[in-house]
Structure 1
Amino acid sequence: MPKDVMNEEALMRKTEEVRFRKPDASDGAAIWELIRACSPLDENSMYANLIQADHFSDTCVVAERGDKIVGWVSGHMIPNEESFFVWQVAVSEKARGLGLGKRMLRDLLDRDETEGAKALKTTITKDNDASWALFRSLARDIGGELTDEPHFEKDEHFDGAHDTEHMVTIQLDDEAARSAA
């Protein structure tokens, strides 16, 4: 069998092994460990991840392979806006290359809890190439326009201790975004 066919079949088997679900409070510690292993992601307290998994489970997702959490996206609907904000995307090194980041985002966009979102928003530092690639790819796939502008600035908001975070916005065309998800 040709090598590229074998690799494609192996990738399909790996992809089929992953399942997505809403997190619950018992996932907090595993989510925290995953984020800690995904440098350069900003680490939150274990308690913050516990609260996200418990209170915001409808707008967060975990990817599981067997009994291990290998992916996590946290997000929430922004109060008084028709926007879904993505806080963090984390994929275990062992599960990279399977498109899990984009698949988890699509899972969230397909949920009833994000149905009213007219935009997906997130913040990214200019040097985070992986995040830029993920969100540009998502925008292309769903036919959404991606824009960005400085939002949380290094000196004004982070007292010089963190690079400027750019607010990235992907406009969601209701039907196109939902059907692509």
Structure 2
Amino acid sequence: MRESLDTDDRLSSAEVKQALEAMSPADWRRVMLFARQAFSGIGSASHEDLLQEACAKLLGGERVWHRGYAAVPAIASVLDSMASNARKREANGPINGDTVVASRDVMDESEVLVAYVEPVDTLTPEIAASDAEQVARLEELLADDMEAALVAWEWAAGRRGQEAAEALRMDMHQYEAARKRLTRKLEMMEDERRKG
């Protein structure tokens, strides 16, 4: 497991700033696409604001940018984590967005909408640590394969096949090649997990 406080393994704020400034317009389009896809159907914040927040978290040191990781996967990882946290808050929070609530004047005085709501959080420290280790290992394996990393993000967003290829603006041959490389790396992780 990586030591999260090891400063030799993380970029400093100045290095993060330099890496962000060095990103090409194509890189910014990719991370904007990640932000849009990762947060589709979650909350009301714009994907531009969420991308800004992810960059601020990296600059401020709240999120770690590990040395050796390219800008797009580093930012996409933060966006994915933010989206995952937002989904968990929506799923486990006290408010159900799908519940239809009648206006007060239509309800009978004796009816009570909510007597008591207690949020349920099924995430344990062990699960969080295991998930973080697996994500870090996958990022490590995909650091040199941007196309496979993009396919992984699409899968995480629930898109596969033609839908994922179209979202990534890849032809199916390019998508299939990246998918096969990703699958091999996932199988390698599974073998490591079984042996470890």
What's the TM-score bracket when you normalise by the shorter of the two chains? 0.3 to 0.5
Larger radius of gyration: 2
Structure having the higher helix fraction is 2
Higher relative contact order (CA 8 A, sep 6+): 2
Normalised TM-score (structure 2) = 0.32
